[in-house]
Amino acid sequence: MGVSRQLSLLLLALGAMFLQQTFAALGRSLPPIIAPAIVADLRLDPAWLGIYVGLAALAALVFQLGCGSFIIRHGALRMSQVALVLLALGLFAASAGPLALFALSAVIGGGGAAISTPASSHLLGRYSPPRHAPLVFSVKQTAVPAGLLLAGLLGPLLTGWLGWRATLQIAGAACLAFALMLEPLRREFDADRVPTRAFRLSDFRTTLASVTGSADLRNLSFACFAFNGLQTVFTSYFVIYLTDLGYSLAAAGLVFSIAMVLAVPGRILWGWVGSGHVPPRQVMGGLALAMAASAGLSGLYGPSWPVLLIGLVAAGMSATAMSWHGVLLAETARLAPEGMRGAATGGVLSFGQTGALLMPLLYALLLGLTGSHGLGFALSGVPALLVGAALLRR
């Protein structure tokens, strides 16, 4: 393969996976972003949000552990399309309104969003030069804050104009449209698929063994648990935290979106730093300590805090808890056994989904018992503090 063709394919794969993950982040984060409107309309307890997020994380855990065989059999691009279709179905189900359908939407949408990252990692791992993989993966992962930015800006705006149900339906239609747009790329990007590969229940154990049997991948798994758990708490509860402090939904969404802007250059910066300048392990250790500090400061928010100070702390959270993905995923792909990048990524991310499952549920429990958002934020930063100390010590 010539250098120019290889570069062209890399850029095409990167663009396709960037947009795929943008829609995945938008679809998964939109219900929590506009949750204040949903909670008010359906007269729900705000702690219900933790149940929704927990169900989505549980579904994501199962899907990430089991998606490796499907990626090998059907191809990374086809599974990216499946992820987008599932997200769309989840958003349509949530727009119907009853709590039973909300629970179903969390399972469907959470599972769909979970497939998107292992599929994109498998695809980009084929075309990325190893030395530049952290930067390539970081650029791809800037799609997540891009999706959150869109959700934070457009979600409250469309909800105010059209209502929360129509907002969810529009997002679902966008996911379906982009899934169709990916179809012409499948011949090239799914050329490595193995149609004879069958799914077996033992694949769950094989995926876990692929990461727990390696000390390096095991350490990345524990880091992913802490980082993804804190990230999920931040993206799920920050807006509703500010509305409880007296901000309108539009104002809280604007603060959240402005903070998300920093995650885009942040992910690229940390990817560049980890591409031969500083060992990726040290980059992740520094980010862990910084995100723990940001979580602790977020726990101190109060009605007397000026919006600028709240925004600065949120920006610190965005630049750390929202910006570690490219470095960690590139390291995972580098350390994975040959041909097992998708499965190994799914295994590491399954630990992250465990954090995304447990930490919001703990947050919801604390919120129900104490009524305090601050305590939940502060405690959610403790695992990151421990991981940061361990990574830098080693």
> What is the per-residue pLDDT across 345-388, written as a single tens digit (0 to 9) for each?
777 877 887 888 889 888 888 888 888 888 999 999 999 999 99
8 Å CB contact between 120 and 140 = yes
Query: What is the model's pLDDT at position 275?
Result: 75
Does residue 218 sit within a domain?
yes
Query: What is the model's pLDDT at position 178?
Result: 92
Does residue 68 sit within a domain?
yes
Closest to 7 measured CA to CA, from 132, 183, 121, 118:
132
Does residue 195 sit within a domain?
no
Does residue 115 sit within a domain?
yes
Does residue 374 sit within a domain?
yes
Does residue 198 sit within a domain?
no
CA 25 – CA 19 distance, rounded (Å): 10
Query: What is the model's pLDDT at position 199?
Result: 67
Q: How far apart are the first and last CA of the chain?
A: 40
The residue type of 132 is H
Query: What is the model's pLDDT at position 37?
Result: 84
Does residue 197 sit within a domain?
no
Residue 385 burial (C-beta neighbours within 10 Å; 0-12, 13-18, 19+): middle
Domain holding 20, by residue range, is 3-188+204-393
Tokens of 94: 């949530």
Residue 382 burial (C-beta neighbours within 10 Å; 0-12, 13-18, 19+): middle
CA 100 – CA 109 distance, rounded (Å): 14
Query: What is the model's pLDDT at position 179?
Result: 92
8 Å CB contact between 239 and 249 = yes
What CATH code is carried by the domain that includes residue 11? 1.20.1250.20
Does residue 196 sit within a domain?
no
Provide DSSP, 330-388: HHHHHHSPTT-HHHHHHHHHHHHHHHHHHHHHHHHHHHHHH--HHHHHHHHTHHHHHHH
Question: pLDDT in tens for each of the 394 residues of the chain?
Answer: 556 777 788 888 888 888 898 988 888 888 888 888 887 887 777 667 777 777 887 888 788 777 777 888 888 889 999 999 999 998 998 888 777 787 888 888 888 888 888 888 788 878 877 777 777 877 877 787 788 778 888 888 898 888 889 999 999 999 999 999 999 888 888 888 888 777 666 666 766 766 776 777 888 889 999 999 999 899 888 988 998 888 888 888 888 888 878 877 888 888 888 777 788 888 999 999 999 999 999 999 988 899 999 999 999 999 999 888 878 878 887 777 666 666 677 778 778 878 888 898 888 888 888 888 889 999 999 999 999 998 888 6
Report the predicted TM-score, pTM, of the whole model to 2 decimal places: 0.71
Number of folded domains that form the chain: 1
Query: What is the model's pLDDT at position 29?
Result: 83
Query: What is the model's pLDDT at position 292?
Result: 95
Tokens of 276: 């031969």
